[in-house]
Structure 1
C-alpha cells in the first residue's frame, strides 16, 4: 500500500511535464484547456459545468470511500471504527434518515439550478 505514495506523485509529475503540453496542443482539446486553465476551472469543466453532475460524483465517491473505512481506520490506529459507526447507526436510525434527506435536498437544489440555467 505504501508504494502508492511514490507512484501518485510520479504520475502527477509525468502528466504536468509530458502529457499536458501534448494534450493542450491538440485541436480537439484547445477549447477545454482555454476554459479550464486553473485547477478549479478544470474541475468545473470536467463536471460539464453542472452542479448535478458534480454532486452525483461526490456522492458516488463517498460511497466508494466507505469501502475503505476499515483499512484506513486500522492504518490510523482505530481498527473498530467501522463497527462503532454501525453501532451508532443501529442505535440511532434517524441519522440515516437525516443523511438521506440532506442528500435529497442537495440533489434537488443542484438539479433545479441546472434546470434554471437551461431555461435562461
Structure 2
C-alpha cells in the first residue's frame, strides 16, 4: 500500500513544476530586456563594465543613457552632428558610424516603448505577486 503514488500529490507536483518553469521563463524575459548582469552595471551601448568612479562622476545632462566615458562622448558628438556641428577631427565618425548611432537610438527607443507597454507592466506585476524566485 505504501508503494501507491497519490494521484493528487502527483498532479500538485506537476502543477508546481509548471508554475516554476513559467516563472523562470518570465524572469528570463525581463532580464533579457533589461540586460541584467548580476548587479554589475555596464554601459548600455558597449556593455563595458562601469567602475565605481564612473558611476559617481557628474554626468552630462545631454546624455540620457548610462554610458561609459567613451560612449557618452560619442553620443554627444552624434547629437552635435545632427545639429550640423560635431568634432571634425574625428574623421572616422563617418556616415556608417552615424548610422550605427541612429539605429542604436531607434533600438533603445523600441525597448523603452516595450518597457512601457501594458503587457510588460502586466508581466512585472505577475512577478511581484508571486514573490521572490527561489
TM-score, normalised to structure 1, is 0.31
In terms of fraction of residues, the more helix-rich structure is 1
TM-score, normalised to structure 2, is 0.29
Answer 1 or 2: higher relative contact order, Cα 8 Å, separation at least 6. 2
